[in-house]
Chains A and B, each alone.
Chain A
């Protein structure tokens, strides 16, 4: 099992411990990541796509063409990168006229998009290639009984026509990963609500985040478990900012799914950067002690 990893901007610069968590857990499972130089921003599916869709296709196609040279499927670890690269890859595979137009632009730098690789989120590799049932075999320290409020976010699942990951209304992929490492996944009323990040009017998005956080508190979960660095931004740093703005207190630790997997596989909390989170989680930070 070999893949070309695409970690993107946020996970390499702002939250590099998420990159570390993916690299270390994949290493534990014997899945090889063959790095490729020369990637840029995916580019961003919200504002860059809003800027100019043709430019968005072009830069994403350039990134995909780099992976095509190596010949391995791309695995993404950020939901934003997953959204951009999956959608552009499908659009260019399906639409020959669009592909020709984009390749005209790529010709200027001697590159070509061929449509020979797939784009897949890392978590689908665990389910479809490695196998969820084998995950338990890599666990040395099961997180038995840890109650995790699952947050899928939008772009791992939707649009399902493009993502082809799971049922967007009844997803199970993260639940099954959490169960495999001993956690108890928890759903609440707002489990599938968007984190609101792309919405320009903060009075709308603030209320979405507050509602989700309050639901998580009400669910009795020990922490939130999620898969997207933008959602992480909204719920970790976000809950501190919203707490100040609206005079509320939530105190809900937020953890990236691959950090939980790493801890269950025996990695120290520092190896997956848990100490850098704004909302500290003593229960997990002291796990190695």
Chain B
């Protein structure tokens, strides 16, 4: 572990990933059943974690995005410290905050998932 103090940082993803993220949310008021919804409203933490997990596990390359167009995820009580336990070294290495590293993986993961589904593939494939 580096002695360098790694900041928590902000959680933010690209607009494209954010739009996709919202598409995965199920809004009971809209009740659209022709598309698969995976998460409830106020579950952005879980969607973000899914994106991060895909990006991190699959070691996806980070995708550049216009910093101005990034959309912030502002989850309350996000467990930075828990992520820090296994990301701190990489964050030091990449000279990124924990939030920055998480966001980069999540952004990549979400966009991967978007393409995966758009290609007609099943999300369950990702679990095998």
Partners in one complex: no
Chain B residues near A (Cβ < 8 Å): none
Chain A residues near B (Cβ < 8 Å): none
